[in-house]
Amino acid sequence: MDGKELLSRLKRLSEIEDANKDIRDLTYAQFPGTHCPLMGAAMAVRGIDGAYMMIVGTDECAYYTKRMTIHSEDWGGVGGRCVSVTIDQHDITFGCVKKVKEAFNELMDEYSPEAVFIVTTCVPEIIGDDFDALAAELTEGSGIRVMIVHTEHFKCENHLPGVERTITACFELMQPQKKNGSVNVIGQRMGRFEDTELNRILVSSGIEICAMLPSGCSIDDIRRAPCARVNIVVNDIGLPLAKKMKASFGTPYVFFDKFTNPEHIEIAYEELFSFLDLPLPAELEALKATAEKAVSDAKKKLTGVSFIYGNTPFRAFEACAFMSSLGMKPELIQCHGIKSEDQNDVSSILTAHDPFITQSANISPMQYIYDELRPMLYLGHEYAMRLRKKGIALVHTDMGGGMLGYEATSYLLAQLTHSAEEAREIREGGMNK
């Protein structure tokens, strides 16, 4: 395989008009992702106390999910909150609505759940049963809220749509409330929110968290979620729910993702405390100053350093725009698409660079790309020793998954400067041999 041939399949960032068509894979076969949305739905329901998940699908889907949940204390073991409706050939031919109704009645009699998420998998989605209408019927007849989460894998490249659809379905549980000074945290995925800088700022400012989705709340917390003064969205998966709450309950939201640029972090903090009608905490000035000094120091060491961006906890285009502002050069960016929230960062990158763009993240064909582009750094998951043989240093970023705030800036800069020095040593050593 030839690196030039692979690159010829790709478009540069300035050429991307339709992300779905223009951002191409390095191979003809597309990788659908290690985990399907069913796993994402299970991850989300797990953190909602009192909620039951009823999976409708083949025996493989039922076994997969039950095996995943059976050893979890959050699920309650064998007799816990995860139940299944296994469909067969008869159901595929004639529909499975009747069987699901019967199973739901059994669930109500045996467990008396507070709320039920009915999760449909690939086969039920293909045969065309109207589960949304079924949910409305079951809700009216049972007196509890029944929500549908569609998790067909043939439309999704990973498990995240399952998480997003589950927390968005929680909107149906919410009820109008009188506003107070609390916040909701929506979209937390990696690490513990309690360990983040953002949470420390909230605690020191006396700001309470009402509900945290997709984990760390009860059915009652979700019902009361509209009482929060503001929603803090810490990942894209929380945006659909935040937008629905804004439209229905007037709850504003702040998009506070894992930003790396201190200017973006400052704006997020300012928006948050403005919505809360509170002054910015004094400690934020010290955190900001530390981050800005880290930027100034790192810029001297990172100017001219080229890199390929792979799979990291950060926002791909935000992080690449920030690194570009330091004088670094993006050769290729692997991503899952370009969203409206990325447009400003895309424009920022294009003021100085026009990197290749490809789907994230297939490292097998990337081996030939390395030989052609010869970057100094690779950000994401790869084999460090294999990269070293090609004169490339690996930038470790996983610890950033548990960070929100200026701490993410300092962490990323420390990793970049360390790896840039390593790359120089690798290349100097190779030249001296």
pLDDT surpasses 50 at 133: yes
Q: Are residues 148 and 48 in the same domain?
A: yes
**How far, CA to CA in Å, does 419 sit from each of 375, 391, 425?**
12, 12, 10
CATH number at residue 112: 3.40.50.1980
Q: What domain range includes position 255?
A: 183-275
Residues β-bridged to residue 146: 116
Question: Above 60 in pLDDT, residue 32?
Answer: no
- Do 392 and 424 share a structural domain? yes
Of 275, 309, 341, which marks where a domain is finished?
275
Same domain, 223 and 347: no
Cα–Cα distance for residue pair 66/72, rounded to 1 Å: 10
Q: With DSSP H G I counted as helix, E B as strand and the rest as coil, what are the percentages for the chain, rounded to 5? A: 50, 15, 30
Note whether 338 and 419 are same-domain residues: yes
What's the pLDDT score for residue 432? Answer: 45
CB within 8 Å of 341: residues ≥ 6 apart: 236, 255
Q: Enumerate residues 6+ apart whose C-beta is below 8 A from 291.
A: 262, 265, 406, 409, 410
Q: In this structure, are 167 and 266 located in the same domain?
A: no
405 in the same domain as 297: yes
pLDDT beyond 60 at 45: yes
Q: Is 280 within a domain? A: no
Q: What band does 433 get if pLDDT is binned at 50, 70 and 90?
A: very low
Residue 33 has pLDDT above 80, yes or no: no
Q: How confident is the model at residue 76 (pLDDT cuts 50, 70, 90)?
A: confident
Q: Is the pLDDT of residue 305 over 80?
A: yes
- Does 284 fall in a domain? no
What confidence score (pLDDT) does residue 36 get? Answer: 81
Kindly state the average pLDDT of the residues 84-92.
83
Tell me, yes or no, whether 158 and 104 share the same domain: yes
